[in-house]
Amino acid sequence: MDKKLYDDCFYVQQKKYGLWNSTDKEGKGLITSLTEEDCVRTTRFYLKGVQEGWDDTPVKYEGTVTEKL
């Protein structure tokens, strides 16, 4: 199947069972999605995070229920 080049930095191609995969220019797998649009959008988000760095702010979750159920 044909690969489409996006943003001059990654390819998107439909694979077996109708799934969409993105790869970088060297062929390294990046994202698998159900639709082409989701694959392009999430690959752009992922590559932006890799390029700019991910937010390392720790997130604290509280696991205590303070109200009576």
- pTM, two decimals, is 0.74
Residue 57, pLDDT > 80, answer no
Residue 65, pLDDT > 90, answer no
Cα three-residue angle 14-12-42, rounded to 5 degrees: 110
Residue 19, pLDDT > 90, answer yes
C-alpha separations of 53 from 2, 10, 32, 47 in Å = 31, 19, 21, 10
Q: What's the rounded mean pLDDT across residues 59-67?
A: 77
Q: Are 41 and 17 a contacting pair, CB within 8 Å?
A: no
State what percent of residues in the chain have pLDDT above 70. 97
